[in-house]
Structure formats: C-alpha cells, structure tokens
Amino acid sequence: MLTISCGGCPQRTVQKKIRIKTDYTYIIYRSEMINTKIKQAVGSALEQLYGLKVDTQTIELQPTKKEFEGDVTLVVFPYVKTAKKKPEDVALQIGEAVKQTVEEVESFNVIKGFLNFLVSDKYWLKFFNDNKNNESYGLRPADADRKPVVIEYSSPNTNKPLHLGHIRNNLLGWSVAQILKANGQNVKMVNLVNDRGIHICKSMVAWQMFSGGETPQTSSMKGDHLVGKYYVLFDKEYKRQIAELTAAGADEETAKQQAPIMKQAQQMLVKWEQGDKEVRQLWETMNGWVYEGFDQTYKRLGIGFDKIYYESQTYKLGKSLVEQGLDKGVFYRRDDASVWCDLTNEGLDEKLLLRKDGTSVYMTQDLGTALLRHEDFNAESLVYVVGNEQIYHFQVLKHILSKLGFEWAENIYHLSYGMVELPNGKMKSREGTVVDADDLMQDMYMQAKEISVQHGKNNDISPEEAEKLYNTIALGALKYFILKVDPSKTMLFDPKESIDFNGNTGPFIQYTYARICSIVRKAEADFNHKVTDSVSMDIELNAKEKEIIKNISAFASVIKEAGKNYSPSIIANYAYNLAKNFNGFYQECSILKQEEATIRHMRVCLAYFTGQVIKTAMMLLGIDVPQRM
C-alpha cells in the first residue's frame, strides 16, 4: 500500500508496488536522459560528418528561448571552423543526423547558428506519467556509507540574543544542509557556541555592577534578552569612562586601555581560564539563561543540530596545538610572551594565537574545534557558514592547520554570506540597535495575521488553524525573502515587502500550493478523480502545459546545481518561477470546467504534480506550505 497526499490534502490510498532503487533513479533522471541522448547523437554526428572527436560532456545544450519553437538548443559556432561551412549549414547537417538517431526528437529548426530541437509530446507525457505520483521526485537516495559533510552554522555568542543577521545564518545553514541531503550526501549539522571570551565577561561584569541580582524569573525576560541587556549596559558605561578619562587629558587609545570596567572584564577572563570558582559559577548561571532563550528561538525558527560544540570545551585543545606549533618552530613567542604565526610568505599577515597573559583568541579555539570535528566525523568536507567579514579568518585557519601538518585542512570551505541591512541602516549589538530575532518573528506573525484577515484567508477555519496559518505565512515570508537572495550578496530586508501575497514572495508560493490543493480536493469530490491514474499518451500538449512539465523535469538538475553552489536562492527562484508558470496556466486553461475528461484528468494531475514539486522545493528552504489559505 502506498499513501499519496498533496501535503494536507485528503489522502488517497492505492494498491501500488514501490519501485526498486534502480528504477527510482532512472525515473528521476528521465528528463536528463533526453539531453544525454542528444549530446551523444551530436558527438557521433560531429565525428561522422567532420571527423571531429569531442567529449560529449563538453557539448553544451540550453533551453530554447521562448520566442523560438523548440525545447533544447545547440549552439553550433564552436564547430564551424572545423566543418569549414556556414553556421546554418552545420546546424542543418547536425539536426538531420540527430533527428534520425534520437526518436524523441520530433523536429528541428535553425536560426543562424542555433539548432533548436523539438522533443515529442510522448516523451514529456511518458516523463509525466512516470513521476507524477513519486513524492520523492527530484531527490537522490541517501548514501549512508559516504563520508559526511559537516556544516557549522548559527555560532551564537552567549552575551546577546539572536538577531536578524543570525537568522540569515541559521536559515542558510539549515537549507544548505537539506539541499545537500537531497543530493544524496551524508550531512551532519553542528553548532559552535561562543560561550567564553572577553565579550562574555563584559556581560558578566555589567550584571555584577548594575543588576541587583536580576534574573529571567524576576524580570519576566527571556534569558538571552536579559544577558544582552547587560552587554549593552557594559558598552554604555565603557564609553562614559573613556569620555571621562579623555576629558582628564588621556589620549583615546590610552583611555580605552585604562577604563576600569574594561580592566575588570580582562581580569575576569584570566580568572575564568584559571578556573576561579565564583567566576565559573556566574558564567554557568548566565549561560544557562541564554541557552534556554536560544532553544525557544531555534524551535520557533524550525531549525536544529546533530551536535553542539562549545568553545569552552575546545579552546584548551587549541592551546595545546599552539604549544605543538611552538615546539615544531611553526609559531614563535614574542618578548611580551604572546604567541604568533608568521604567514607573510603566504601573502597574509602575522596572526596572534595567544595573548601575552596566556589567554586564547578566536583563532585558538577554531584550531581546536576543527581538529575535534575532524576526529569526530572524518568528514569529506568541513563547511563553515559565516559572514563575509571573516573571509580572511578562514584563509588563516586553513594555512595554520596546513602548517601544523593536517592535510584535511584543504577540505575546509567557508560558505561566506553578505550582511543583512535594514531600510534605516546597519545593526550594532553593542549599541542595542539590532533587530531581535524573536521580536522580528513576532512582528512578522502580527503582519501575517492582519493581512490574512484583510484578505479573508482565515474564513472557514478554526481559531487554532488560523493561528497556525498566520505563523506558517509569517515564517514562510521571512525565510523565503532571505533565502531567495544569493548568499554572497548583501541584502536589504523589508518585512512589509516580504509578506506581500503577490510577486516573488513566500506567501505567493504558499497561496499557489493551497490553490492546487483546493483544485485536487474539488476534482476528487466532483469527478471521483484519482491522480494516481495514468494520463493518456495521445494528448496533444498546449504550450502552457508543456512549459510546466519541462519546468518540473528540470527539478533534479536544479537541486544538483543548488548543492554544487551551496545556494538556496537557486531553489527559491525555481519555486517562484514554477508557481508563476502554474498561475499563468490556471488563468488561461480551464481545469475543472474542461469538458473533455482525458484533458481534465491530465490537467488535475499536472496541478497535483506541480504542487508536490513546490512542496519539496519549499521543504528544502525549511518552509511549510498550507493546504488551505
């Protein structure tokens, strides 16, 4: 028995054998097969006609432009010189040879040096029938024996709550992990919590000075918000003290170093590394508050991890690696007792690894974490999802690990992403001008609720279902708006624009899916329609129908490309284009009112298949799609 459902649409249970793995793989890539067959035929034609031997992998095919008739286009200009003929003549000769060899090619046409092949309707209908009820369509089977790809994302500091920048990091890391899984890779998702260091001590010192014993319980604040409050208070007091010292005659740099509150934080860090009981107890208490807050945020955001690392558990390993580097002569100690690595021969700079007081820096613990992660997973690659301001840091990390003799350092990949900016400027944690992740999600929820009520999206559903719908729309809007942008680009986040039900937004795609589910439900109720029944192979597809099937046929290749580039934006924009194409088809082609039963059945099945692909694509982005909206 195989249960097939359109997300939340009524389930239909049918008798059907599950395909074996070999058949499953064949069916998923049937759309790629036509390109492969055409390439092979082109390669044979080039050799027979012109004596030119080429690797078929180097033959490039592209979708035919909409203004021309065809499905697949070959640009023949690279072969004109060898053929010693006009581009049009070369295209005609290759076209004839391919048409005779590949039965799926119905016809071809030549536009100057562009050879456009028209693939038969029967090919597309065969692909359609083979895949329309496969809920795993487009996804590669997992290879459990393959070495894992370890993806680190989130990496928060325990001195403040998660903010909008963290949201982009988390959504990007989570989505890339799902996309790599969809490509059959063994993926492990990890988080490195920055739970120690001078920034943590700043919050602790400020809490001692100003809190009066305040706790999350006494203040009714989330723990991460409470600790972040004191991080901001530290900065305010620090600036006040600097101003006071400079007014007394000190230069600004001296004032920064001599400010009493900064000296207290530095002394606290030394005590922490020495294991001072009182400092450690306060640290554990305040970090505990933060972890409870983080967990609530992660849960609402819908992300998680396979393993969590803590810098407090890895920095010692990093320090031991520094000692090994000193023994090997890879690092050197300056007169003030600080330890450095000279990377000037590599075109970089000198890098501090231990301060003069013996405390570690970010690089120190990153060395330890990388080694521990390699030992834990023996990974195929270590992917770090970190903002582009840390590009230099990861160049240094790889070089230092290589100098220490770790060959696997070459497997480190920095998935760099641009910053998130707001209409009113950049965010600054120390100044308390960040957009808090919790506040943003709640604000998105309220906007989704207001717009849904205005549009009547909550009609005929219970209050509980309505609340779930508002949250689904809000998170869909937030996630899609962020993930549709190429990771390398700095982006401007506009909450109002993101929640629009029209245009390139999450709610637009969600509404398209809900519309599809409604069509399938009505077809089942009015015509006893079963999407599991085969579609007639004798149907002549119109342009809109064929466009959608072709779009769907590219899904596996889209997933592959997104995985290759670590880019959820490829999936996001594919989902939008598919939804847009479907809505154009819906407006121009009657579905439920189509009198011809075979055509009506095909169109309902096409709607269902489109919905399944939209659902899978959005799942790879971490976005839920509602059955009613």
Task: Give the pLDDT band of residue 454 (cuts 50, 70, 90).
Answer: confident
Q: pLDDT tens, 591-611?
A: 999 999 999 999 999 999 999
Structure tokens at 300: 């609402």
What confidence tens digit (pLDDT) does each residue in 129-173 have? 999 999 999 999 988 889 999 999 999 999 999 998 899 999 999
Q: What is d(CA 523, CA 9) in angstroms, rounded to the nearest whole number?
A: 12
The CA distance from 180 to 562, in Å, is 8
pLDDT band per the 50, 70, 90 thresholds, residue 354: very high
More confident of the two residues 210 and 165: 210
Mean pLDDT of 233-261: 96
- Provide the pLDDT for residue 72: 94
How buried is 350 (Cβ within 10 angstroms: 0-12 exposed, 13-18 middle, 19+ buried)?
Answer: exposed
Rounded CA separation 30/35 (Å): 9
Same fold: 38-123 with 437-620: no
Tell me the angle at which helices 223-247 and 198-210 cross, rounded to the nearest 10 degrees.
90
Residue 300 CB contacts under 8 Å (≥ 6 apart), including other chains: 438, 441, 475
User: Rounded mean pLDDT of 323-343?
Assistant: 96
pLDDT for 426: 47
Decide if pLDDT at 18 tops 90.
no
Among the four given CATH numbers 3.40.50.10860, 3.40.720.10, 3.40.50.620, 2.120.10.30, the one describing domain 150-194+308-434: 3.40.50.620
What is the rounded distance in angstroms from the CA atom of residue 624 to the CA atom of residue 629?
12
Q: What is the mean pLDDT of residues 84-90?
A: 96
30 has a pLDDT exceeding 60? no
Q: How many helices (H) and strands (E) does the chain have?
A: 23, 16
Q: Residue 40, exposed/middle/buried by CB under 10 A (0-12, 13-18, 19+)?
A: middle
For the cut 50, the answer to whether the pLDDT of residue 27 exceeds it is no
Question: What pLDDT does residue 303 have?
Answer: 96
Q: What's the CA gap between 58 and 42, in Å, rounded?
A: 11
Q: How far apart are CA 171 and CA 182, in angstroms?
A: 16
273 pLDDT higher than 70: yes
Closest by Cα among 483, 486, 478, 480 to 416: 486
Q: Tell me if residue 454 falls in helix, strand or coil.
A: helix
pLDDT, residue 502, reads 87
Share of the chain above pLDDT 70, in %: 93
CA angle 463, 467, 473 (to 5 degrees): 140
Give the C-alpha separation, 162 to 293, whole Å: 9
Label the pairing between strands 381-387 and 350-354: unpaired
Query: Residues 295-314: what's their mean pLDDT?
Result: 95
- What pLDDT sits at residue 29? 40
Q: Is the pLDDT of residue 306 over 50?
A: yes
Is residue 574 scored above 80 in pLDDT? yes
**Residue linked to tokens 């400020």:** 206
Let me know if domain 38-123 sits in CATH 3.30.70.920.
no
Token pair belonging to 535: 């579609």
User: Are the C-beta atoms of residues 203 and 401 closer than 8 Å to each other?
Assistant: no
List % helix, strand, coil for the chain (3-state, nearest 5): 60, 10, 30
DSSP 423: T
As a whole number of angstroms, the distance between CA 313 and CA 498 comes to 40
170 three-state secondary structure: helix
Q: How far is CA 90 from CA 86, 249, 579, in A?
A: 6, 83, 38
What does the pLDDT look like over 492-540, one tens digit per residue? Answer: 888 888 988 888 999 999 999 999 999 999 999 999 989 999 999 999 9
pLDDT for 95 beyond 90: yes
Angle at 516 (CA atoms; ends 609, 138), nearest 5 degrees: 25
pLDDT computed for residue 9 by the predictor = 37
Token pair of 70, please? 């065809």
Encoded amino acid at 44, one letter: S
Instruction: Please answer whether residues 82 and 74 qualify as being in contact, where contact means their C-beta atoms are separated by less than 8 angstroms.
Output: no
Question: Is residue 54 predicted with pLDDT exceeding 60?
Answer: yes
What is the reported pLDDT for 2? Answer: 29
Question: Cβ atoms within 10 A of the Cβ of 580, count?
Answer: 16
Give residue for tokens 């249970």.
13
The CATH code that applies to domain 437-620 is 1.10.730.10
> Which residue ranges make up each domain of the chain?
38-123, 150-194+308-434, 196-305, 437-620
Three-class SS state of 114: strand
- Looking at residue 424, its pLDDT comes to 63
- pLDDT tens per residue, range 197-209: 899 999 999 999 9
